[in-house]
Amino acid sequence: MKSVSRKVGKYEVGRTIGEGTFAKVKVARNTETDESVAVKVLAKSTILKHKMVDQIKREISIMKIVRHPNIVRLHEVLASQAKIYIILEFVTGGELFDKIVHQGKLPENECRRYFQQLIDAVAHCHNKGVYHRDLKPENLLLDAYGNLKVSDFGLSALPQKGVDLLHTTCGTPNYLAPEVLGNQGYDGAAADVWSCGVILYVLMAGYLPFNESDLPTLYRKINAAEFSCPHWFSPGFELLIHKILDSNPKTRIQIEGIKKDPWFLKNYVPVGHNADEKVDLDDVRAVFDDIEDNFVSEQSENNEGGPLVMNAFEMITLSQGLNLSALFDRGQDYVKRQTRFVSREPAKVIISTVEAVAKSMSLKVHTRNYKIRLEGIAANRAGQFAVVLEVFEVAPSLFMVDVRKAAGDTLEYHKFYKNLCGKLDNIIWKSSEGKAIPVCLEQ
């Protein structure tokens, strides 16, 4: 088996916890403070090949500019000869959408609190001249205390001098404002407010206000703001949601109006923060002024032979809130938020079984060492759906298979994972009661 020991500057880098088209996110430890952080890793060759230097530089600069308690904090940026490392706050509570997937609609007071934190964060962005443009529950994380954190500023825009309207159609179709779909230029602030409204509806209802399998029907309903309110919506909330999901951006309620709404104001306590905090962009300039330079030494020691051996630090970070007891308490139900399972089959058998099952599901399969990427078309045909599975050795003859979404909708991903586990039933290790053995449990 092989183990990996890697240091980037003062950070000890561990396992991959997220993966997208252009970047991986790994968990790491600050060896000076012992603090856990998330590290977004990008290959310079990929950035240069796809001409993404300006976009990545913009995303990093934006995340440093918009410092707020309800926004994922960017600590610093480092670079080696081949890679760029974005050091981020490590948020342990998972995606907000995971709560919706497993609980359905949330209690009204809980929805209100999340929405208040979301509006505070978005208002701060807008005050800094930043428009997120891809607000959705998948980009809203929760910390160990249940506080909301906005993440993923990859599609954010800073207005250009003398230009008031944005023209790029981007984001996830179900959360896009009508004017964004119209391709006629739009106000970034009004578009973000619409997306916040869709998120709020999902929190309260447990499902999307606009959710059609074919895109023409979906776009028609969004353009007409054609949605209905379930019977459990309170009158005050129903009034507010119709003001937010107004198809006309000129008459749509603005953030200032939302903050004065009686439903919003209930138990509202604005979060305290230093809005004028000085932001230092020297590290960003150092990384991008000469993208080929080697700024940080990177050491990696590999012993080839098998799947990665998960060390104690990585095992601890599997647990929500870094609570060790959760790793060993098997009296609870199988983990709700995390998607991983344990197998006692040999690693090569696990890989070959997953490959066979994926092919039977008409998915494209890409295998490298002990990592598999599965790709297909999203259920609503709106884009690509992709999943990454990675095999780790956690004890002799005991393997953990970590499954994570790489592209696509979170709800679709959870349905896929449940279906996949059903087809992999013969290799998943179960207790005497027939339940899958948990790896990581919620607090």
pLDDT per residue of the chain (443 residues) written in tens, 0 to 9: 454 558 888 999 988 877 766 778 888 999 999 999 988 888 888 777 777 777 777 777 777 778 889 998 888 888 887 888 888 888 888 888 888 888 889 999 999 999 999 999 999 888 888 887 778 877 888 998 899 998 876 433 333 333 343 334 344 678 888 888 876 677 788 989 999 999 999 999 998 998 887 788 888 999 999 999 999 999 999 999 999 999 999 999 999 999 999 999 999 998 876 666 666 667 776 666 656 444 454 544 444 567 766 554 455 444 433 332 333 333 333 233 457 888 889 899 999 999 999 999 999 999 988 889 998 887 666 667 889 898 888 777 888 888 888 877 777 788 888 899 999 989 888 755 555 655 543 33
H/E stretch holding 27 = strand 24-30
Residues 117 and 230 in one domain: yes
- Whether 186 and 237 map to the same domain: the answer is yes
pLDDT at 24: 82
Where does a domain end: 90, 119, 138? 90
Last residue of a domain, one of 232, 265, 298: 265
The number of folded domains in the chain is: 3
The tens digit of pLDDT for each residue in 392-404 reads 887 778 888 888 8
Residue 216 resides in a domain:
yes
pLDDT digits (tens, 9 = 90+) for 125-138: 888 888 877 788 77
- Partners of 407 in the beta sheet? 386
Does residue 131 share a domain with residue 24? no
Determine, yes or no, domain membership for 203: yes
**Structural domain harbouring 416:** 308-423
Q: What is the pTM of this model?
A: 0.66
Whether residue 254 sits in one domain with residue 135: yes
Residues 108 and 66 in one domain: no
Indicate if 56 and 117 belong to the same structural domain: no
Q: Are both 101 and 126 inside the same structural domain?
A: yes
Domain boundary among 46, 73, 90: 90
Q: Which residues pair with 388 in a beta bridge?
A: 373, 404
- Same structural domain for residues 146 and 255? yes
Question: Looking at the chain, how many residues does it have?
Answer: 443
Residue 321, token pair as written in the block: 């809130």
The domain that contains 40 carries what CATH number?
A: 3.30.200.20
Residues that are catalytic: 134
Q: How many CA atoms lie within 13 A of 71 on its CB side?
A: 25
Same domain, yes or no: 320 and 227: no
The predicted-structure confidence for 22-60, as pLDDT tens digits, reads as follows: 778 888 999 999 999 988 888 888 777 777 777 777 777
- Residue 272 resides in a domain: no
- Looking at the structure, do residues 122 and 212 belong to the same domain, yes or no? yes
Structural contact between residues 108 and 130, judged by C-beta atoms closer than 8 angstroms = no
CA distance linking residue 164 with residue 178, whole number of Å = 18
Which whole-number Å values give the CA distances from 276 to 131, 270, 395, in the listed order?
Answer: 18, 16, 50
Is 123 a domain residue? Answer: yes
Q: CATH number, domain at 381?
A: 3.30.310.80
When computed from its CA atoms, the radius of gyration of the chain, rounded to whole angstroms, is 22
Q: Report the alpha-carbon distance of residue 414 to residue 427 in Å, rounded.
A: 20
E runs forming strands in 361-420? 364-368, 371-377, 384-395, 398-407
- Judgement on whether residues 251 and 315 belong to the same structural domain of the protein: no
**pLDDT, averaged across the chain:** 78
What pLDDT shows up at residue 274? Answer: 65
In a domain, 282, yes or no: no
Q: 355 in a domain, yes or no? A: yes
Residue 294 falls inside a structural domain: no
Where residue 112 sits, what CATH number does that domain have? 1.10.510.10
State how beta strands 36-43 and 83-89 pair: antiparallel
CA distance 369 to 385: 22
Q: Is residue 270 part of a domain?
A: no
Residues 346 and 414 in one domain: yes
